[in-house]
Amino acid sequence: MLYLIGLGLSDEKDVTVRGLEAIKSSTRVYLEAYTSILGEAFYEKEIIVADRDMVETESDDILANADKDNVSFLVVGDPFGATTHADLLLRADALSIPYTVIHNASVMNAVGAVGLALYNYGQTVSIPFFTDSWRPDSWLARVRENAELGLHTLCLLDIKVKEQSEENLARGRKIFEPPRYMSVPCAVSQLLSLLPNTPAPSTTSTTTTTTPSVLSIPLAASLDPATTLAISLSRVGDPTQKFVAGTLEELSKLGEDDFGGPLHSFVIVGRRFHALERDFARRWAVDQENWDRVAKEVYDVRD
């Protein structure tokens, strides 16, 4: 049996009882390496680190004898959360290897901790690190589509693990750079760099009689940094988790230490924003008065 096991968000103790039983019954235990490394002592098993290259090119080794023995593949979060493992399961199916998926919490549902209704989220996007020669912006179109529908956008931030420099890659040297985790300031800075220099004008009180669906479309899609609300999440699900709320402009002016340790993500608040949600997130606002003002004048939130 192949077990695909979600480990949750914080540490090794977040594994479910069912997941732990499967791990202890396995002859081999693999851990997806590009997310994090967890302790072997708790699981009472030797952990085989499986980097992305192994998962993609050596899946036959992972699945070897799984038709006779139990093999566990551990994934931080949920197996079908931010990344899917459908290919591994398809390969198992082709080899007539039975499998069981054991789910757990992931940022995709734990984001509810910031107080925004989960059913008002649109497409989730991943923001990659920019380079001098590579500035992908296809994800921004998804953000705009969500905004035009009034939906919130969960932005997942890039993780670089086992990354090679261009020189080492060219020379075929297996020398890897230190891990890098994108921070909220970096992500917001990249987002703002893709926006026009002149933002759309913010809403005034004279427009409050316009229906929110019509009002929101041009203003939301512009992502005006001064009038677009956002909430950052740091180490969500961990006892040290931290949230920070404000406009994109306010968040862009904070330092990395203001957001807590990695992993980071953030939510761009859509126009389907209500008074209870405003009040819930206000507790983490950089400027509570401005948070309420933007919610009222731009998002048309009423008590």
The confidence band for 206, taking pLDDT boundaries of 50, 70 and 90, is very low
Which range (78-82, 116-120, 188-192) has the least confidence? Answer: 78-82
Which range (37-41, 113-117, 299-303) has the least confidence? Answer: 37-41
Question: Over 60: is that where the pLDDT of 212 sits?
Answer: no
60 class by beta-carbon count within 10 Å (0-12 exposed, 13-18 middle, 19+ buried): exposed
The confidence band for 220, taking pLDDT boundaries of 50, 70 and 90, is low
Query: Do residues 113 and 143 touch, judged by C-beta distance below 8 A?
Result: no
Mean pLDDT (the chain, rounded): 86
Read off the pTM.
Answer: 0.85
Over the stretch 23-68, which tens digit does the pLDDT of each residue have?
999 999 999 875 554 556 677 788 888 877 788 788 889 999 999 9
Give phi and psi for 168, each to the nearest 5: -65, -35
Query: Do residues 81 and 6 touch, judged by C-beta distance below 8 A?
Result: yes
Query: Do residues 91 and 59 touch, judged by C-beta distance below 8 A?
Result: yes
The confidence band for 82, taking pLDDT boundaries of 50, 70 and 90, is low
Which range (61-70, 170-179, 202-211, 260-269) has the least confidence? Answer: 202-211
Question: Over 80: is that where the pLDDT of 165 sits?
Answer: no
| Positive/negative CA dihedral, 256, 260, 263, 266 | negative
The confidence band for 161, taking pLDDT boundaries of 50, 70 and 90, is confident
**Predicted pLDDT at 65:** 95
Query: Do residues 294 and 248 touch, judged by C-beta distance below 8 A?
Result: no
Residue 69 burial (CB count, 10 A): 13
Amino acid letter, residue 187: A
Give the HSE-up count for residue 276: Cα atoms under 13 Å, Cβ half-sphere. Answer: 3
Question: Over 70: is that where the pLDDT of 108 sits?
Answer: yes
